[in-house]
Amino acid sequence: MFEPHSNQGMSPRERRIYAAYELAYTLVDFGAAASFIVGSVLFFWESTMVAGTWLFLVGSVLFAAKPSIRLARELRKLGSGATEDVARRAVE
């Protein structure tokens, strides 16, 4: 789950925060995928097509949330003074 270089030097609190962001990212990813799969199945029948369309929209919003989670984590790191860590990730 963690890249070996990314959590070296982190305090236990920082590791928990990092893990929480990673968990949120993964949950959003699964939610988006599930929304698209169920939406696709619902699209087979005309009576459930509207629900399928809504699930496609939900999945799209969840996919859009993924970079927002990453940005929030990076901004938090910048706020705590970890500019070198953020800069190093930008190069990788």
| Residue 33 within a domain | yes
String of DSSP letters for 32-51: HHHHHHHHHHHTTSGGGHHH
pTM of the model: 0.73
User: What span, in angstroms and rounded, lies between the C-alpha atoms of 88 and 49?
Assistant: 46
Q: Which two tokens stand for residue 36?
A: 């698209």
Task: Give the model confidence (pLDDT) of 9-25 as tens digits.
Answer: 778 988 898 899 999 99
Contact between 52 and 43 (Cβ < 8 Å): yes
Indicate the number of domains in the chain.
1
Residue pointed to by tokens 């799969």: 37
Confidence band of 89 (pLDDT split at 50, 70, 90): low
Segments forming the whole domain that contains residue 62: 12-91
Rounded to whole angstroms, the Cα distance separating 62 from 71 reads 15
pLDDT digits (tens, 9 = 90+) for 39-63: 999 999 999 999 999 999 999 999 9
* Structural domain contains residue 7: no
Q: Is residue 6 part of a domain?
A: no
Looking at residue 16, what is its pLDDT?
92
3-12, 22-31, 57-66, 77-86: segment of lowest average pLDDT: 3-12
Residue with tokens 């003074």: 81
Tell me if 1 is assigned to some domain: no
* 5 inside domain: no
